[in-house]
């Protein structure tokens, strides 16, 4: 019986294409190694302070000066090398990946890695705390380096045998040289960008002043102090407001988009979107500053300096990112020839991504607007809930094909994530004092209760549904195949699982590590039986327990 007949359904074709992703091949092993090293690096960076070494001078001071930069360079080199190898050497690496699927994980070497890292940690404690000053600096540093390198080697060989590492290096040829040059260049560029803050902020000042002049008769402008405004309201344009942060975000977004959807874009035509996005976000940043001044001048300085100042930049970024996506998917000159006709012929209602993304995008967009319209407290938060509920109700028929059933497993995962969240919060000590916001506490009890009810309703209903549709229902499968709806909810790729979980984690700010773990656990809940209802109930359970925890123990920072 043939594996794929001439009359095979799209579901069969996509499932056949993804069959090779399920074993633990080369890419998932590299991703697992990267996650392990990243986690350990984060722990060390939180624990250790290089300033303590720099002050001691000598070889120890040298380590303090260059340790952080070296770690960043290694991370950058690894990311660039693996990415380029996956894109440019995929055919050559597929043979290695098949061999890796047959290679067992060597648990003894993983244990050796943990022991080496324990020794490394003890030596870090000795070096950074100067607990044994009689120990020769040269000996201490040599042992420290030896333990660190041994830990790296043990972990690398535990996940991939030496012969496959050698094949991997031979298959990628001189790519490692290019990755090393780019990693060093990025590090140098990062330091150079700081020197651009002053001249770029001057250009931003000029543009903001230009945008402001048609709307006010008297403009207060001091280019030397970067003071701009009107006689009633002025702001100082700090170097951080120069627009370079927005440019960096757009460049990162553009790189990710063009890589993930490279088969659907026409190159080099699609590259025009990068400078267009950079120029647009820079102009919008200057317009944001001018608008902020106009709002303050109109008699709402608290809104200008509060909600609008914090959210307008993100609104501009999302607008540019949305325009990038629309241009990449709807402009025939940019879209690949194979996909141009179907997109041109399709109706907006036939867009398969719409029901998965629109509720989540609605929550983000309305949230930015309500926060931007707020001063010291987001009283308009109930609008987020109502808008998302309206979108979900409008699209309810599009969700009938999904399996919304759940068992005990989903709530169990939700409780586990809640416990991890609280443990992370206690470990990170994100807030020492976080009472109820003063504006909410001082409001009438009926208004306070109503706001809390809508906040909890959103946390346990619209937010879990919208986020699970976007991250587990859409992104997890969309990275696997363009025709993602043809995939059952039990099908995944390791790359899709990692990217969707990390994206979900980054959505939660300084809780991104806990958020990434939560994303992995919610994905497990869904993938176990292919029920998106399991992921939704798990997410809702976590949020319900967090809401109760906040109300009982006054941990209001957990609602941020």
Cα–Cα distance for residue pair 99/163, rounded to 1 Å = 10
465 and 495 housed in the same domain: yes
Answer whether residue 499 is part of any domain: yes
55 and 108 housed in the same domain: yes
Answer whether residue 187 is part of any domain: no
In the block, tokens 């039986």 appear at: 529
397 and 536 housed in the same domain: yes
Q: Which helix (H) or strand (E) holds 299?
A: none
Question: Residue-wise over 50-75: b if at least 16 C-beta within 10 A, else e?
Answer: beebbebeeebeebbeebeeeeebee
pLDDT of residue 4: 39
Give the side-chain half-sphere CA count within 13 A for 74.
12
Residue 380 has phi, psi (to 5 degrees) of -90, 15
Work out how many domains the chain is built from and give that number. Answer: 3
Listed in sequence order, the residues at least 6 apart from 548 whose beta carbon sits closer than 8 Å to its beta carbon are: none
Contact 519/473 with Cβ under 8 angstroms?
no
Answer whether residue 5 is part of any domain: no
450 and 382 housed in the same domain: yes
369 and 512 housed in the same domain: yes
Q: What is the pLDDT of residues 307-352, one digit of tens each?
A: 566 667 766 776 787 778 778 777 888 776 555 444 444 444 457 8
Cα–Cα distance for residue pair 487/217, rounded to 1 Å = 60
- ∠ CA 527-529-535, nearest 5°, is 55
Query: Distances in Å between the alpha carbon of 220 and those of 213, 216, 289?
Result: 10, 10, 14
pLDDT tens for the 560 residues of the chain, in order: 333 344 445 445 444 444 444 456 777 787 778 777 777 776 776 666 666 666 666 666 666 666 666 666 666 676 667 666 665 666 677 788 888 888 888 888 989 999 998 888 888 888 777 766 666 777 777 888 898 889 889 998 998 888 888 888 888 777 777 667 766 666 666 556 666 667 777 888 888 888 888 888 888 888 888 888 888 888 888 776 777 777 777 777 777 777 767 777 777 788 888 888 888 888 888 888 888 888 888 777 776 776 566 667 766 776 787 778 778 777 888 776 555 444 444 444 457 888 898 899 888 888 877 776 666 677 888 898 999 999 999 999 989 889 999 999 999 999 999 999 998 888 766 555 567 777 787 888 888 888 899 999 999 999 999 999 999 999 888 887 778 888 888 887 887 888 888 889 888 877 888 888 999 999 999 998 899 999 999 999 999 999 998 888 888 777 75
325 and 375 housed in the same domain: no
DSSP three-state, residue 541: helix
348: burial class by Cβ within 10 Å (0-12, 13-18, 19+)?
exposed
Answer whether residue 379 is part of any domain: yes
In this structure, what token pair is assigned to residue 303? 């809104």
Cα–Cα distance for residue pair 290/541, rounded to 1 Å = 43
Torsion angle, CA of 437/441/442/444, rounded to 10 degrees?
130
The alpha helices in 19-89, defined as continuous H runs, are: 26-47, 51-54, 58-88
Cα–Cα distance for residue pair 537/108, rounded to 1 Å = 38
pLDDT of residue 44: 72
Answer whether residue 469 is part of any domain: yes
Question: Residue-wise over 231-252: b if at least 16 C-beta within 10 A, else e?
Answer: eebbbebeeebbbbebbebbee
pLDDT of residue 502: 85
Cα–Cα distance for residue pair 535/521, rounded to 1 Å = 8
158 and 221 housed in the same domain: no
Of the candidates 519, 11, 500, 527, the residue with the CA atom closest to the CA atom of residue 260: 500
Of the candidates 395, 332, 360, the residue with the CA atom closest to the CA atom of residue 504: 360
246 and 302 housed in the same domain: yes
Q: Within the chain, what is the greatest distance between any pair of CA atoms?
A: 82
pLDDT of residue 457: 93
Domain span at residue 531? 358-560
Of the candidates 229, 365, 364, 375, the residue with the CA atom closest to the CA atom of residue 308: 375
Query: Distances in Å between the alpha carbon of 172 and those of 33, 74, 167, 175, 263?
Result: 18, 18, 9, 6, 22
Q: Is the dihedral of CA 76, 81, 82, 83 positive or negative?
A: positive
Distance linking the first and last C-alpha atoms of the chain: 56
Q: Is the dihedral of CA 247, 249, 252, 254 positive or negative?
A: negative
Domain boundary among 346, 371, 405: 346
Contact 71/41 with Cβ under 8 angstroms?
yes
Answer whether residue 353 is part of any domain: no
Contact 421/555 with Cβ under 8 angstroms?
no
pLDDT of residue 66: 64
Q: Is the dihedral of CA 199, 201, 205, 211 positive or negative?
A: positive
Torsion angle, CA of 429/116/505/503, rounded to 10 degrees?
150
Answer whether residue 412 is part of any domain: yes
| 236: β partners | 227
328 and 407 housed in the same domain: no
395 and 530 housed in the same domain: yes
398 and 370 housed in the same domain: yes
Cα–Cα distance for residue pair 249/244, rounded to 1 Å = 9
317 and 430 housed in the same domain: no
Domain boundary among 314, 346, 378: 346
pLDDT of residue 260: 64
Cis, peptide link before residue 409, omega less than 30° from 0: no
Count of CB atoms within 10 A of residue 222's CB?
Answer: 12
Of the candidates 527, 497, 520, 493, the residue with the CA atom closest to the CA atom of residue 20: 493
Of the candidates 224, 154, 220, 180, the residue with the CA atom closest to the CA atom of residue 70: 180
Answer whether residue 273 is part of any domain: yes
Count of CB atoms within 10 A of residue 291's CB?
Answer: 19
Listed in sequence order, the residues at least 6 apart from 465 whose beta carbon sits closer than 8 Å to its beta carbon are: 359, 392, 536
Q: What is the pLDDT of residues 249-269, one digit of tens each?
A: 777 777 777 776 777 777 778
Domain boundary among 283, 314, 346: 346
Name the percent of the chain in helix, strand, coil, to the closest 5.
Answer: 75, 0, 20
Listed in sequence order, the residues at least 6 apart from 223 whose beta carbon sits closer than 8 Å to its beta carbon are: 202, 205, 206
DSSP codes of every residue in 460-515: IIIHHHHHHIIIIIIIHHHTT-SSGGGS-TT---HHHHHHHHHHHHHTTGGGHHHH
């Amino acid at each position: 019986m043939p594996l794929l007949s001439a009359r095979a359904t799209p579901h069969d074709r996509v499932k056949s294409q993804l069959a090779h992703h399920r074993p633990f091949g080369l890419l998932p092993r590299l991703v697992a190694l990267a996650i392990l090293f990243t986690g350990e690096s984060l722990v060390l960076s939180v624990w250790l302070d290089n300033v303590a070494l720099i002050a001691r001078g000598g070889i120890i001071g040298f380590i303090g000066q260059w340790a952080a930069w070296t770690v960043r360079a290694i991370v950058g080199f690894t990311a660039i090398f693996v990415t380029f190898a996956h894109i440019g050497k995929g055919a050559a690496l597929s043979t290695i990946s098949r061999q890796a699927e047959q290679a067992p994980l060597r648990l003894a070497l993983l244990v050796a890695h943990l022991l080496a890292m324990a020794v490394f940690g003890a030596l870090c404690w000795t070096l950074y705390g100067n607990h044994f000053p009689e120990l020769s600096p040269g000996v201490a540093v040599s042992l420290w380096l030896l333990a660190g390198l041994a830990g790296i080697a043990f972990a690398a060989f535990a996940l991939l045998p030496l012969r496959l590492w050698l094949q991997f290096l031979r298959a990628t040829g001189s790519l490692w040289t290019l990755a090393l040059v780019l990693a060093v260049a990025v590090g140098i560029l990062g330091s150079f960008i700081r020197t651009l803050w002053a001249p770029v902020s001057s250009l931003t000042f000029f543009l903001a002043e230009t945008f402001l002049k048609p709307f006010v008769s008297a403009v207060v402008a001091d280019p030397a102090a970067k003071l701009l405004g009107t006689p009633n309201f002025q702001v100082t344009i700090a170097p951080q407001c120069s627009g370079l942060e927005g440019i960096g975000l757009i460049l990162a977004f553009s790189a990710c988009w063009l890589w993930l959807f490279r088969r659907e874009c026409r190159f080099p035509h699609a590259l025009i979107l990068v400078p267009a996005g950079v120029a647009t976000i820079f102009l919008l940043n200057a317009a944001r500053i001018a608008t902020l001044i106009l709002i303050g001048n109109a008699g709402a300085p608290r809104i200008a300096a509060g909600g609008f100042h914090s959210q307008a930049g993100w609104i501009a970024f999302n607008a540019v990112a949305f325009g990038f996506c629309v241009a990449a998917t709807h402009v025939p000159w940019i879209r690949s020839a194979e996909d141009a006709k179907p997109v041109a012929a399709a109706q907006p209602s036939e867009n398969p991504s719409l029901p998965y993304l629109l509720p989540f995008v609605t929550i983000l967009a309305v949230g930015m607007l309500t926060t931007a319209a707020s001063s010291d407290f987001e009283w308009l938060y109930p609008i987020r809930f109502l808008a998302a509920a309206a979108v979900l109700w409008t699209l309810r028929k599009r969700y009938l094909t999904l399996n919304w059933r759940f068992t005990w497993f989903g709530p169990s995962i939700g409780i586990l994530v809640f416990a991890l969240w609280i443990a992370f919060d206690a470990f990170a000590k994100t807030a020492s004092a976080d009472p109820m916001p003063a504006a909410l506490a001082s409001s009438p009890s009926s208004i306070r209760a109503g706001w809390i009810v809508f906040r909890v309703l959103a946390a346990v209903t619209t937010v879990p549904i919208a986020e699970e549709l976007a991250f587990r229902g859409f992104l997890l499968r969309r990275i696997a195949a363009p025709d993602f709806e043809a995939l059952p909810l039990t099908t995944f790729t390791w790359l899709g699982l990692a990217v969707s979980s990390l994206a979900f984690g980054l959505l939660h700010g300084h809780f991104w590590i806990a958020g990434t773990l939560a994303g992995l656990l919610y994905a497990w809940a869904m993938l176990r039986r292919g029920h998106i209802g399991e992921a939704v109930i798990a997410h809702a359970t976590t949020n319900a327990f967090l809401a109760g925890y906040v109300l009982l123990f006054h941990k209001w920072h957990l609602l941020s």
